[in-house]
Amino acid sequence: MLFASFVGLIGLILVQERADAIDRAKLHLGNLRSTAESSLDSIIHSFELSLDAVVFGLEKFDVASYPPAVQRAILFDRSAFAPQFSGINIIDATGRVIMNSRDETLGLREGEIATTTLQDRSFFDVHAKRDDVGLYVSEPFKRRQTGEWVIVFSRRFAGADGGFGGVVAGALRVSYLQALLDRLDLGRRGNASLVRTDGTLLVRSPGTSDPTMGLPVKDLLQIVDRETRGVFEAKSPAEDRLYAYARLEKLPIVLAISESKAEILADWKWRAMIIVLAMILLLTLATILLLRFSSELDRRRNAELALQKAARQLEHLSLTDSLTGLANRRSFDLAFEREWARHRRERAPLSLLLIDIDHFKAYNDHYGHPAGDGTLSLVARIIETEARRQIDVAARYGGEEFALILPDTDADGALAVAERIRITLAQQEVLHSHGINGLLTISIGVATAGRADTDWNARKLLEAADHSLYEAKHAGRNCIAARQSHGVTAIAVV
């Protein structure tokens, strides 16, 4: 028994030491990820702004009427000439390059640029077939003229008739990304990779062929689908590794940085040998005291956990509506007060939706209260599903009325969320004998406090949402009405 206690305590210390070593490695990997993520976001965002500026100039101005030098001054900002970028191409609907921010990179003489065709490139084909792609990130490929490896970021632009006008494509040098990742403190067996969300490897550092350092792309992408950033462990017969990953904001690109667990635990193994010898001596003296106090410590620990669990359950019950599982009125009031204070402090927009089920009393009277409860739960699930961010707060405001707090959301964003909720319920086609077209519908009032200083307070925002809901009801129900702090706007969406 005494020997078992010795072994157990030694084991606990070693396990904790091992966990600490892994935690330190996770922290280190997380810091490397944040550093690389910040640099990549800055680089790519700057490039994206340059592409957006070109698309804007092409769609809003008749640039063709100006001399070439003036055209370039209008379309290409200084960011387009940064050393990490290998030029921006403007490609017409037939795939011909009609303008380039750096003609010299194409190896062409004056007047020859229009003969260069990129119609066979994947990014051109994607934009030509679809108008909803947004910013497209290509696989790495070697440029025909220079032999340089690049990744193309591209956007579609509209022609004069509103159809496909062509593509604005900017090339980011793979060598630049490689150098950026190479500067990270990866250790002897660490690596960093950029992967497209379809599994295509974009960049890797170091560029080794060691199979034990391979990236588990399938596992990584499955994890990213559930959570956009974090740390996970990948086990393999060759070598176990820790990965810190993050999906770059609004981009189909995942950054993954890893370190070998064998390297992480190398120092721990050496310390473990010393700890084993030292603890054998110490445990001989501590065994009697441990036996005496272990029972009391376990009892107190269990009692504390039981109290904490009971407290959490009570708090959950006090803040949750039992029927719908949403926040209740008390929880809504606390969240609304908190978000209003943040709105005033940070000057961020704040929107509030009040949602009411149309003719709900008639529905209850006709179909019965169990069906009415089911309808409340259905609407609650729809609202909770469309409130996609963790900072959004969905609550049952009272009776058949719900509320949705949308921090950092302007009027357009709030109206988009409201319309998704309204349409999603309509698609359920819930029968309602007294409803519009015989179906269950909702009316939504939207109020938004903008970034600018106003005379509004939290009560006025709530009143504005309530007035909007009244206007939606008065307009015939199954619609949305909205108000903003800088003047009053009524909007109905049927």
pLDDT at 444 over 90: yes
Contact in structure between 406 and 414 (CB atoms under 8 Å): yes
Please name the residues in contact with 103: beta carbons below 8 A apart, sequence gap of 6 or more: 110, 113
Report residue 483 as tokens: 């108000």
- Provide mean pLDDT across the span 341-366: 92
Best mean pLDDT range from 74-78, 278-282, 316-320, 352-356: 352-356
CA angle 191, 193, 197 (to 5 degrees): 150
pLDDT at 114 over 60: no
Best mean pLDDT range from 55-59, 250-254, 408-412: 408-412
Best mean pLDDT range from 66-75, 109-118, 142-151, 167-176: 167-176
In angstroms, what CA-CA distances link 486 with 342, 387, 405, 417, 465? 19, 25, 19, 21, 14
CA 234 – CA 258 distance, rounded (Å): 10
Please name the residues in contact with 11: beta carbons below 8 A apart, sequence gap of 6 or more: none
Burial readout 484-494 (b: 16 or more C-beta within 10 A, e: otherwise):
bbeeeeebebe
- Provide mean pLDDT across the span 114-142: 84
Domains located in the chain, CATH noted: 12-264 (3.30.450.20), 329-484 (3.30.70.270)
- Identify the band that residue 469 occupies on the pLDDT scale cut at 50, 70 and 90: very high
- What pLDDT is attached to residue 224? 85
- What pLDDT is attached to residue 108? 38
pLDDT at 465 over 90: yes
- Provide mean pLDDT across the span 395-421: 94
Tell me which DSSP letter residue 391 carries: T
Tell me which DSSP letter residue 188 carries: S
Please name the residues in contact with 185: beta carbons below 8 A apart, sequence gap of 6 or more: 28, 32
Lowest model confidence (mean pLDDT) among 18-32, 71-85, 286-300: 71-85
The DSSP H or E segment spanning 419 is helix 411-428
The DSSP string of 6-52 is: HHHHHHHHHHHHHHHHHHHHHHHHHHHHHHHHHHHHHHHHHHHHHHH
Going by C-alpha positions, the residue among 182, 23, 167, 174 that lies closest to residue 88 is 167
192 phi, psi to nearest 5 deg: -135, 140
Residue whose entry in the numeric block shows the structure tokens 């295509």: 200
CA 260 – CA 39 distance, rounded (Å): 24
pLDDT at 332 over 60: yes
The DSSP H or E segment spanning 303 is helix 266-319
pLDDT at 146 over 90: no
- What pLDDT is attached to residue 454? 64
SS3 of the chain: helix, strand, coil, percent, to 5: 50, 20, 25
- What pLDDT is attached to residue 213? 47
Best mean pLDDT range from 152-161, 464-473, 480-489: 464-473
What is the average pLDDT value for the chain, to the nearest integer? Answer: 83
- Provide mean pLDDT across the span 173-195: 86
Please name the residues in contact with 350: beta carbons below 8 A apart, sequence gap of 6 or more: 339, 340, 342, 343, 405, 406, 407, 408, 409, 448, 449, 461
- Identify the band that residue 41 occupies on the pLDDT scale cut at 50, 70 and 90: confident
- What pLDDT is attached to residue 306? 73
Note if 400 is an active site residue: yes
- Provide mean pLDDT across the span 87-114: 67
- What pLDDT is attached to residue 474? 92
Catalytic residue among 48, 339, 400, 471: 400
Give the residue ranges of DSSP H helices in 369-410.
369-386
- Identify the band that residue 120 occupies on the pLDDT scale cut at 50, 70 and 90: confident
Contact in structure between 433 and 404 (CB atoms under 8 Å): no
254 strand-pairing partners: 195, 247
Q: Tell me the pLDDT tens digit for each residue of 202-256.
A: 888 886 544 444 577 888 888 888 888 898 888 877 788 888 899 988 888 999 9
CA 137 – CA 335 distance, rounded (Å): 39
CA 361 – CA 20 distance, rounded (Å): 59
Considering only residues 488 and 176, tell me which one the structure prediction assigns the higher pLDDT.
176
pLDDT at 445 over 90: yes
- What pLDDT is attached to residue 453? 56
- Identify the band that residue 334 occupies on the pLDDT scale cut at 50, 70 and 90: very high
On whether the pTM is more than 0.85, the answer is no
Burial readout 169-181 (b: 16 or more C-beta within 10 A, e: otherwise):
bbbbbbebbbebb
- The torsion region of residue 93 among left (phi > 0), alpha (psi -120 to 50) and beta comes to alpha
Please name the residues in contact with 37: beta carbons below 8 A apart, sequence gap of 6 or more: 246, 248, 255
CA 288 – CA 285 distance, rounded (Å): 7
Going by C-alpha positions, the residue among 386, 406, 380, 382 that lies closest to residue 328 is 380
Give the residue ranges of DSSP H helices in 61-103.
68-75
- How large is the C-alpha radius of gyration of the chain? 30
CA 420 – CA 190 distance, rounded (Å): 45
- Identify the band that residue 493 occupies on the pLDDT scale cut at 50, 70 and 90: very low
- Provide mean pLDDT across the span 318-336: 90
pLDDT at 392 over 90: yes
CA 30 – CA 126 distance, rounded (Å): 34
229 strand-pairing partners: 246
